[in-house]
Amino acid sequence: MSTVRVPVPQPGRGEVLVKIAALSLNYRDLMVINGVGNWKPTSRVVPLSDAVGTVVGVGEGVDRFDLGDRVSAMFLPEWRSGQLTRETYVNPIGGPINGGMLAEYVVVSQDNAARTPHSLDDEHAATLPIAALTAWHAVARRSRVQRGETVLIHGTGGVALFALQFVLALGGIPIITSSSDEKLDRARKSGAAHSINYKSTPDVAAEVMSLTGGEGVNHVIETIGGENLNRSLKAVKIGGTISFVGLIAGLAAQINTYDFVTRHVTIHGIETGSREMFEEMVQIIDKHGIVPVLDSTYPVQRIREALQHLAEGKHFGKVVITITASNL
How far apart CA 294 and CA 284 sit, in angstroms, is: 19
Query: Please, are residues 187 and 167 in contact by the beta-carbon 8 Å criterion?
Result: no
pLDDT given for residue 255 in this prediction:
85
State yes or no: pLDDT of 247 exceeds 90: no
Mean predicted lDDT score pLDDT of the chain: 93
221 has which bridge partners?
153, 243
* Residue 300 main-chain phi, psi, to 5 deg: -60, -30
Domains of the chain in sequence order: 15-127+292-327 (3.90.180.10), 132-269 (3.40.50.720)
pLDDT given for residue 1 in this prediction:
65
pLDDT given for residue 20 in this prediction:
98
H helices of 16-132, in order, are 27-34, 122-125
The most confident of 34-43, 197-206, 225-234, by mean pLDDT: 197-206
The DSSP string of 232-254 is HHHHEEEEEEEEE---TT-S---
250-307 pLDDT per residue, tens: 677 788 888 989 999 999 999 999 999 999 999 999 999 999 999 999 999 999 999 9
CA-based nearest residue to 196, from 237, 171, 228, 167: 228
pLDDT given for residue 2 in this prediction:
67
How far apart CA 275 and CA 70 sit, in angstroms, is: 15
- Chain-centre distance for alpha carbon 242: 17
Q: What angle do CA 299, 5, 12 make, to 5 degrees?
A: 105
* Residue 125 main-chain phi, psi, to 5 deg: -65, -25
State yes or no: pLDDT of 328 exceeds 60: no
Cα–Cα distances in angstroms (integers) from residue 218 to residues 14, 27, 127, 203, 328, in the given order? 44, 29, 28, 19, 48
163-208 pLDDT per residue, tens: 999 999 999 999 999 999 999 999 999 999 999 999 999 999 999 9
Query: pTM (2 decimals)?
Result: 0.94
Query: Please, are residues 145 and 136 in contact by the beta-carbon 8 Å criterion?
Result: no
Q: How many CB atoms lie within 10 A of CB 281?
A: 25
pLDDT given for residue 325 in this prediction:
63
CA-based nearest residue to 277, from 124, 112, 137, 153: 137
Q: What angle do CA 265, 228, 174 make, to 5 degrees?
A: 70
